[in-house]
Amino acid sequence: MNPAFAAMKKCRDICRMYGGEVNKKDKDTLYNKFRDEALNLAYFLASSDGAVSVTESMTINTIFQILVDEDFLKKNFGENILAEDSILRHVPSSLQIIAHAEKDENMGGKCYLVSSREIVDAFVLVGNLVINCDCMRLQYPVMLLQHFSNLCIQYIEQIEENDELTNGDTVYKSKVIPVPSVGSPDMQHPGSGSGNGKLTLREQVEIENATLFSRESNEAKKDVRDILAEVDSLIGLYAVKKEVHDMVNLMMVQKLREQRGLKATEISRHMVFTGNPGTGKTTIARKIAQAYYSLGILKKGQLVETDRSGLVAGYMGQTAQKVHEVVDAALDGVLFIDEAYTLVSEREGDYGQEAIDTLLKLMEDNRDRLVVIVAGYPDLMERFISSNPGLKSRFNKYVYFEDYNDEELTEIFLTRCREQDYSVDPRLRPYILNRISQLRFYEGNNFGNARSVRNYFEQVISNQANRLVYEINEDNESANNALMEITEQDL
């Protein structure tokens, strides 16, 4: 289940449990109050940079199962962020009611308010989902959400200790720092020489972007935001997309710290991709290589793909040489090793372990010039990494690729048709969905997800070719349309 849906469902259950404190007739009165406050928070964070983007509006609509635009949000939930009655300046009344009710349920005295903390977690989850919509994870909304979270947690902690605070809509006087404003002194840009030296956060970001995302007159070097947009446009892979955004954001901030003379934390860039065949592991590895190149972390950003056959030789001494050659080709880029678990073998005379030992040595020698991604089935990759302490210490970032569902695979098939200038009648979509479901059933454990769909596509256009060779002649004016059309017979 989508984490946002799961959190909202849990909050509905909690609100219904304590809803009698608000209205005994309508069991969802308290939940509706919570939902409005969460929506208000989401709008605040989305608009804190001056505008609500289309992606932010779509995310808010998805979380709250509504269909509204920025104008509606601004009219119904818009307040001045720094106003005295802003949600950022007081504990949400829904949380106040739940905290007191939960305290009463525990017969007073010191207690740990589990449900109340789950409500705070839901507010924070909603906030983070909205903040992460932007390719650039801006500092200001992050600070606002942290301030809000501190406010709520301090309130809960005081309720846990005593019961002197009143519930309802009483404003809680927080001891945390005041809500930071965009033009506040702590937002001052050190290099500014105009006026009073203060810049808005958006102006700071634009300055950083001018440096960080410069194309250096190299046309092959894409803007990292364009690369992330390409990742987001891929079908499915929702958890993977989040991981990619998180990794890029982390590297981006480390790069900014380095440029400003601050210490950059030592972070391992090597990764383990786990999942069944055809789930997009190679595609995402290529996007990561491009993103790291765009950020200046890698000087070339090429992706070198290999497997056991490209690393292991049949004679003593040759394996190390092969590994050196592959790593040399991948330097300043990404080395992608598919089915890496095959390097571990208990057969006598196998040189897989020599390949691993040589690779680990070269990874250490070229830690700033090489990113290694190993990939394979989840269970086998877990055993592979655990088989060697050197592997376990260098590969601590796991990204899991789920199988595509039949709807996603159908969309992948139709997308491939469009890309190759084929047209499919929309009424045939259920038929294609059924065929893909059959493929999954008949292939069983050998089903290759997008790879199987690609094979199916090739079979379909082969069927079309066999049909057309008897139907079309060069003088037929409708030949072009016929060459593009995929029929039920072809499928």
pLDDT at residue 336 is higher than 90: yes
The reply to whether 428 and 360 lie within a common domain is no
DSSP tally for the chain: helices H, then strands E: 20, 7
The reply to whether 149 and 35 lie within a common domain is yes
The tokens of 212 are what? Answer: 């960080």
The reply to whether 453 and 345 lie within a common domain is no
The reply to whether 374 and 421 lie within a common domain is no
Residue 400: which of 421, 375, 424, 423 has the closest Cα? 375
Whether residue 376 is contained in a domain is answered as yes
Whether residue 49 is contained in a domain is answered as yes
**Is-contact 276 450, C-beta < 8 A?**
no
pLDDT at residue 320 is higher than 90: no
Residue 121 burial (CB < 10 Å; 0-12/13-18/19+)? Answer: middle
Helix (H/G/I), strand (E/B), else coil: 464: helix
pLDDT at residue 464 is higher than 90: no
The reply to whether 370 and 425 lie within a common domain is no
Helix (H/G/I), strand (E/B), else coil: 491: coil
Q: What is the CATH number of the domain that holds 288?
A: 3.40.50.300
Whether residue 442 is contained in a domain is answered as yes
Which domain-ending residue is among 144, 161, 178?
Answer: 161
Please write the tens of the pLDDT for every residue from 380-421.
888 888 888 888 888 888 999 999 998 889 998 888 888 888
State the DSSP H helix or E strand holding residue 72, giving kind and residue range, or none if neither: helix 70-77
Residue 102: what pLDDT?
86
Please write the tens of the pLDDT for every residue from 70-113.
566 555 555 444 444 566 677 888 898 988 888 888 776 677 78
Backbone angle region of 193, left / alpha / beta, with phi > 0 → left and psi within -120 to 50 → alpha: alpha
**Is-contact 119 12, C-beta < 8 A?**
no
The reply to whether 335 and 269 lie within a common domain is yes
Whether residue 176 is contained in a domain is answered as no
In the structure, what pLDDT confidence band is assigned to residue 211 with cuts at 50, 70 and 90?
Answer: very low
Whether residue 328 is contained in a domain is answered as yes
Residue 201: what pLDDT?
38
Please write the tens of the pLDDT for every residue from 271-310.
999 998 888 899 999 999 998 888 888 888 888 888 888 8
Q: Report the domain count for the chain.
A: 3
The reply to whether 324 and 459 lie within a common domain is no
**Is-contact 416 457, C-beta < 8 A?**
yes
The reply to whether 239 and 373 lie within a common domain is yes
Which domain-ending residue is among 161, 188, 216?
Answer: 161
Whether residue 211 is contained in a domain is answered as no
The reply to whether 377 and 440 lie within a common domain is no
Which domain-ending residue is among 119, 138, 161?
Answer: 161
Q: Mean per-residue pLDDT for 225-245?
A: 88
* Cα dist from 295 to 152, 215, 299, whole Å: 37, 10, 9
Higher pLDDT, 372 or 465: 372
Least confident piece of the model among 196-205, 215-224, 276-285: 196-205
Whether residue 194 is contained in a domain is answered as no
The reply to whether 232 and 143 lie within a common domain is no
Residue 52: what pLDDT?
74
The reply to whether 239 and 256 lie within a common domain is yes
Residue-range definition of the domain harbouring residue 368: 227-401
Residue 362: which of 321, 399, 398, 396 has the closest Cα? 321
The reply to whether 154 and 94 lie within a common domain is yes
Whether residue 205 is contained in a domain is answered as no
pTM over 0.75: no
Please write the tens of the pLDDT for every residue from 12-68.
888 888 876 555 555 678 888 898 888 888 888 887 766 677 777 778 877 877 765
